[in-house]
Amino acid sequence: MSTPQGPYQQSYRESIDAPESFWLDAARSIEWNTPPTKALDDSTAPTYRWFPDATMNTCVNALDRHVRAGRGDRVALVHDSAMTGQVREFTYSQLQREVALFAGVLKDQGVTVGDRVVVYMPMIPEAAIAMLACARIGAVHSVVFGGFAAKELAARIDDAQPVVLVTASGGLEPNRTVEYLPLVRDALEMSSTPPHTVVVKSRTEVGGSAADVDGGGAAWFDWDELAKDAKPADPVAVAATDPLYILYTSGTTGKPKGVVRDNGGHAVALTWSMKNIYDIGADDVWWTASDVGWVVGHSYIVYGPLLVGATTVMYEGKPVGTPDAGAFWRVIEQHQVAALFTAPTAIRAIRKVDPAAAELEKYDISSLRTLFAAGERLDPDTYDWARKTLGVPVIDHWWQTETGWAICANLRGLEPMPVKSGSPTVPVPGYQVEVVDPTGKPVAAGTEGAIVIRLPLPPGTLTGLWRDENRFHASYLAAFEGYYLTGDSGYLDEDGYLFVLGRSDDVINVAGHRLSTGSIEAVVASHPAVAECAVVGIHDELKGQRASGYVVLESGVDIAADVLRDELVAMVRDQIGAVASFRDVTVVEALPKTRSGKILRKTMRQIVDHEEYTVPSTIEDVSVLNALEQQLRTREGT
């Protein structure tokens, strides 16, 4: 197999060899107030800026221009809440009016160009409306995942220093409601720089309103009451290099890292990606099953689909339990979804509950063309199950909060390529991906090393960390001169396909042999009894480290623990080798994860090694972590 020598290769080579012409051409797909004459500003390298002489407005590109083009009656946003059983639709004209009106609310509260607005919201349309309203008047939004603890919210408030915080009365989970207003009040009281105003969207399903709350040094107002007296705000042209948003990376400790995204490069990159990576245009319904609090939600619930005039689905619910493992298939049928983007964790959750896909038989998902996955490694077994079950291409791709869009992908709109299970395929145009050894020297094909990206990064990627340039350089640019450090390890094969094996700190050293826990996980996950697994490196007196496996069984599977262990040990020995020294297998009810689906491998390792650990602020369910610790302590008799 060899990488196709067609449109992809031509596009990729131009993006690397002639970035000026490539990105100026891509920039023609959006509307500018002042069109760019220059693509890249490298005068302050290794910090770069895109479209330095241009001005534009992101909200205009997402809404107004489609209305002016006569597509105002097209459905822009579908809000499907499995929690309330309600569906709300907004056409482009309706969404534009709602956004302009709330932009007027923000202006009335003194928000001006460059001011920060923290958005702390559940998965309701008003979250997207607030984000777009900020973009409309040149304010900088910083979305914090709804339900984050007060301490974590306070840390982000202190870093972003917003003038207004927008929230709701609460969020809905399958078995509980989360009241936001006490959390916001507590966060403001902890904060050294609280906003002067809090705007509250009341939900009938969750009690509480602005009138019920006081304190924190802020004035509290009701969203709907303020909207009654507001006038729709006109869009404000901003520099392409001006910040659109700040997004704090998940799992941070101490001072959060605020990734900064610009306006112009972001709009150009996401518009290019919707067509070339996802093959989605104005006549398509697109669904990203994520949360607006994460980068995937920013890029592909709110901005990406609206920039190209598509219909975007915002889903409030879970892949299972709201009400069953057929939830995703119901949404696809009901809204005629053409492409679904979700985390592998969601697919594994569905497979665990319904391995035979019996729920799928109840629905017609013939509208679905493609399933895209990212956010956590797509193991070959999950890939095979999804491909066979759904009968559509299953496309893994790899990116980060920092990049804002895919680093490596199978570009379905530009040139579909053969899929290699376990690989997100090839570098996306604009990303010069290399694999290097500890000295920064490129390694041979098939050899594992640190994955780096040669500077400059393409448009749409981070332009820095909010008010922390030193940390930006130390975190990403200092390790290898002229490169951005991804923090992941992997290898490029002879066809140029990248295989991401995990975070660099997930590489373990067993008696002098460097092994990727991701490779071992792939073997363990292929066992028919295993629904999900994690492999971590733990301390070993003799070998330094050894691999230890934790598995969740498929629903209905009955297998003795010692039989499963022996079979998995034999499989790892056969496929990885005896050098892996793999002999520990623990069956658990669930794996601890962040709310975005990432398994907390580092925390698991700390528990096993009896190290002090801090419960990550992004954890989905702390009871899973507690149960794991209790199980391990019981097993060890401690």
Clarify whether residues 426 and 545 are in a common domain. no
Question: How far is Cα 99 from Cα 242, in angstroms, rounded to an integer?
Answer: 20
Q: Assign residue 572 the CATH number of its domain.
A: 3.30.300.30
Place of tokens 């301490």: 151
- Per-residue model confidence as pLDDT tens digits over 351-404: 999 999 999 999 999 999 999 999 877 888 899 999 999 999 999 999 999 999
> Quick one: angle between helices 344-353 and 380-390, nearest 10?
70
Co-location of 101 and 235 in the same domain? yes
Q: Is 229 helix (H, G, I), strand (E, B) or coil?
A: helix
Please check whether residues 427 and 517 belong to one and the same domain: no
Same domain, 530 and 406: no
Q: Which residues of 348-367 are buried (b: 16+ CB within 10 A; e: fewer)?
A: bbbbbbbbebebbeeeebee
Same domain, 124 and 225: yes
The confidence score (pLDDT) of residue 251 equals 40
- Let me know if residue 27 belongs to a domain: yes
Structure tokens at 181: 């207003």
Phi, psi of 482 (to 5 degrees): 85, 5
DSSP 234: P
| pLDDT for 575 | 77
Distances (CA, A) of 424 to 190, 335, 521, 635: 42, 28, 17, 38
Judge if 418 and 552 occupy the same domain. Answer: no
**CA-CA distances (angstroms) from residue 4 to 8, 9, 69, 410?**
8, 7, 37, 11
E-assigned strand segments in 494-568: 498-503, 507-510, 513-516, 530-540, 544-553
The CATH number for 137's domain is 3.40.50.12780
Query: Is residue 116 located within the same domain as residue 265?
Result: yes
Is there a domain that residue 34 lies in?
yes
Query: Are 151 and 255 part of one and the same domain?
Result: yes
3-state secondary structure of 508: strand
pLDDT in tens, 444-470: 999 989 999 999 999 999 999 999 999
- Average pLDDT over the chain reads 92
Give the pLDDT score at 118: 98
In this structure, are residues 92 and 72 in contact, taking their beta carbons and an 8 Å threshold?
yes
In a domain, 333, yes or no: no
**Residue 415 in contact with residue 8, Cβ under 8 Å?**
yes
Domain that holds residue 22: 7-317+397-431
Quote the pLDDT of residue 606: 85
**Given the structure tokens 């295989």, which residue do they identify?**
499
Q: Are residues 427 and 569 in the same domain?
A: no
Q: Based on the structure, what is the number of domains in the chain?
A: 2
Q: Is residue 340 part of a domain?
A: no
- Rounded to whole angstroms, the Cα distance separating 181 from 122 reads 12
139 with 259, same domain: the answer is yes
* Helix 622-636, helix 601-608: angle, nearest 10: 30
Cα(492)–Cα(511) distance, rounded to whole angstroms? Answer: 25
For 220-270, how does the pLDDT look when each residue is reduced to its tens digit (9 = 90+)?
999 999 999 999 999 999 999 999 999 998 543 457 899 999 999 999 999
Position 357 in a domain: no
Choose the final residue of a domain: 414, 431, 448. 431
Q: What is the pLDDT of residue 71?
A: 98
**Contact status, residue 125 vs residue 79, Cβ threshold 8 Å:** yes
* Strand ordering across the sheet containing 285-288: 86-91, 75-81, 311-316, 285-288, 339-342, 370-373, 394-396
Report long-range pairs for 189-194 (Cβ below 8 Å, ≥24 apart). Answer: 189/215, 189/216, 189/217, 190/150, 190/151, 190/154, 191/154, 191/157, 191/158, 191/216, 192/158, 193/157, 193/158, 193/161, 194/157, 194/218
Q: What long-range pairs does 570-576 form, CB within 8 A, spacing at least 24?
A: 571/523, 571/524, 571/526, 571/527, 572/520, 572/523, 572/524, 572/547, 575/523, 576/515, 576/519, 576/520, 576/523
pLDDT score recorded for residue 513: 56
* Position 505 in a domain: no
The residues of the chain scoring below 50 in pLDDT are: 1-4, 251-253
Examine residue 504 and state whether it is found in any structural domain, yes or no. Answer: no
Asked whether residue 415 is assigned to any structural domain, the reply reads yes
Which residue from 339, 337, 341, 330 is spatially nearest to 294, judged by alpha carbons?
341
Say yes or no: 285 and 415 in one domain.
yes
